[in-house]
Amino acid sequence: MPSDTAPEIVGVRMSRFAACLAEVSLEELIYQTCRDLLRDLGLSARDLDHVALASSDMVDGRAISMMVTAGSAAGYGRDVINSSSSGEHALVLSAVRILAGRGRLGLVAAWGKPSEAPLAVGDSLSLDPFYQRALRLERTAFLGLQAARYLARRPEAAADAAAVVERRLASARRNLRSALSGTEATPGGPAPSGAAASGRADDVVAWPLRRRDVPPPTDGAVAMVVATPEVARGIAARRAAIRGLGWASDAYWLGDRDVTRLPALAEAWSTARRRAGGAPPLDVVELSDISPYHEMMVCEALGLSGKDGARVVVNPSGGLRASNPEFGAGLCRVAEAALQVMGQADPCQVNGARWALGHGVAGLGATTHTVVLLEGVA
C-alpha cells in the first residue's frame, strides 16, 4: 500500500495475561487497556474519529457483546464498528476505513476472558447442527485431526514439533508481556480447555497432540491506535506502517480440502504481498501457533520453510504461549509484530527488525486467516 496513505500503528498496549484474571471484570479489563494506551500516547477518547472492535458473543457470554464493551473501549458517543469473525478483523476494519478516507485516527481493540467461557461448548455450538455437532468435536479434536494428517505427510515432523514447543515456552518465559513471564512453569502452562483440560503434559489429548502441544487460553485484552501517516507522525516517532494486508477463509467442511495445508493463508499472504508491491525481506513473524504442527503448516503457507525462511525469527514473543486471549490472540500477534518494528519489543526485541508479519487464525480446523505486513518507520 502506498507510503503516503498506508495506515500506521502508532502504539499498542496489552493487558496482563493469565489463565484467569479474576480481579477484573471484562469491562474493566478492556477499559484499563484502552485507557492506558491513550494515556501513553497523550491522546484522549475525544481525539478518535472511529473505534473498531472485535468480539465474540460466545466467548463473552452475552448476545451482541459489543454493547457492553464499546463503552469500555472509548466507543460512547463515537463511530463504532465491530467484527465477530476474528480479533484481527478489527484492525482490517480500521485500516480500510482510513484508506477509504473516512477516518484519520482510530482505536482498535480485541479481548478474551475464556476463564469465564465454556469454550468446548462454544466450539460444539459453532458446528452445523445436522452433520458435525452430534460428533461432539471441539478445538482439540480438530487440531489433532489436522496434526495427524500432517504427520502422515511428514513423519519427521514429530521431532520438529517437540523442539518447537520447547523454544516457544522458553521465549514466552523471557517475554515480560507473557502469561509465563519470569516463571519456571510446567511445560504447557495452565490447563487448556476441553479435552486438554486435565492431566499431565505428556498425556495425549488428541493424537498425536500431547497436552504440552496445545497453548492454553489466557484472559487478556489488546488495543492499538491506528492513524493516517500525517496524523501518526504527530503522535509517535516510531510507528509500524501497514504495508500489506490480506485475509481469507477456507471452505467450511474439512472434507473439502487437504487439511495439512492452509490455502486461505497462502491466499491472504499472496494478497498482502501484492498490496505491498512485492515480498519484503521479513525479519520477524509473529504467528498464531495453535499447535506445533499448525506452526509448521503456517510456515509452509508463508513460504518460510525453505532457505529463504531461515533468517526469519518466528515468535520471539513466545507466540500463543505468551498471550492467547480467545478471539483476541491474533491481534496480540500483530501487536507483538508492531512492537518489533517500532523497536519496543524488549526483552524479546530482534535487533534491527524492520519488516514483520503478524498472523491471526480463527475457526475450527483453522479456516480463517489474516496477515498484516508491517514496516518500521520513523
Partner 1 sequence: MTGRRVAIAGVGQTPFRHRYPDVIYPDLVREATRLAVADAGLRIADVDAVVYSMAPDALIGVSHAERWVVDAAGAAGRPLLRVNTGGSTGLSAVQAAHDHVASGLCEAVLIVGADRVGESGDAQTILNRIWDPMYERALPLNTITMLAMQAVRFMEKYGATERDMARVSVKNHRNGCRNRYAHIRQEVTVDEVLRSRMISYPIKLYDCCPQSSGAAAMVLVSPERATRLPRPPAWIKGLGFSAETYWMGDRMGPAAESDHAESPALRRAVTAACRAAGISAPAAAIDVAEVYAPFSCVELHAIQDAGLCEPGRVMALLAEGYFDLDGALPVNPSGGVMCANPIAVTALVRAIEATLQVTGRAGEHQVPKARTALATGIGGDHQFFAAAVIGAEP
Residues 36 to 55 in contact with partner 1, rule: CB under 8 A: 55
Sheet holding 355-362, edge to edge: 313-314, 284-286, 355-362, 368-377
208: cis peptide before it, omega within 30°?
yes
CB of 278 to partner 1, least distance (A): 17
Least distance between partner 1 and beta carbon 165 (Å):
28
Among the listed residues 79, 116, 160, 203, the single contact to partner 1 using CB under 8 A: 79
Q: Decide: is 294 part of the binding site for partner 1 (CB under 8 A).
A: no
* 4, 23, 128, 156: which one binds partner 1 (CB under 8 A): 128
Name which of 359, 261, 265, 270 is nearest 312 in CA terms: 359
Candidate ranges 169-177, 230-238, 260-268, 300-308; the one touching partner 1 (CB under 8 A): 260-268
**What are the C-alpha distances in Å from 53 to residues 75, 90, 296?**
9, 5, 30
Which residues partner with 54 through β-bridges? 83, 110
Q: Does 363 bind partner 1 (CB under 8 A)?
A: yes
Of residues 154 through 213, those in contact with partner 1 by CB under 8 A are none
- Is 122 a residue that touches partner 1 (CB under 8 A)? yes
143: CB partners within 8 A, 6+ apart = 206, 209, 214, 290, 291, 293, 294
Q: What angle do CA 297, 259, 361 make, to 5 degrees?
A: 55
Smallest separation, CB 240 to partner 1 (Å): 19
Q: Does 262 bind partner 1 (CB under 8 A)?
A: no
> Binding of partner 1 at residue 71 (CB under 8 A)?
yes
Given a contact cutoff of 8 angstroms between Cβ atoms, the answer to whether 119 and 326 are in contact is yes
User: Strands 105-112 and 50-54, how do they pair?
Assistant: parallel
24 binds partner 1 (CB under 8 A): no
Q: Which of 205, 228, 231 lies closest to 216 in space, CA to CA? A: 205
* 20, 22, 39, 76: residue in contact with partner 1 (rule CB under 8 A): 76
Residues 83-102 as x/- pattern, contact with partner 1 by CB under 8 A: xxxx--x--xx-xxx-xxxx
Q: Is 344 in the site for partner 1 (CB under 8 A)?
A: no
Backbone angles phi, psi at 67, to 5 degrees: -60, -45
Task: Give the interface with partner 1 as residue ranges (CB under 8 A).
Answer: 55-58, 62-64, 66-68, 70-71, 75-86, 89, 92-93, 95-97, 99-102, 122, 125-130, 245-253, 256, 263-264, 267-268, 271, 275, 362-364, 367-368
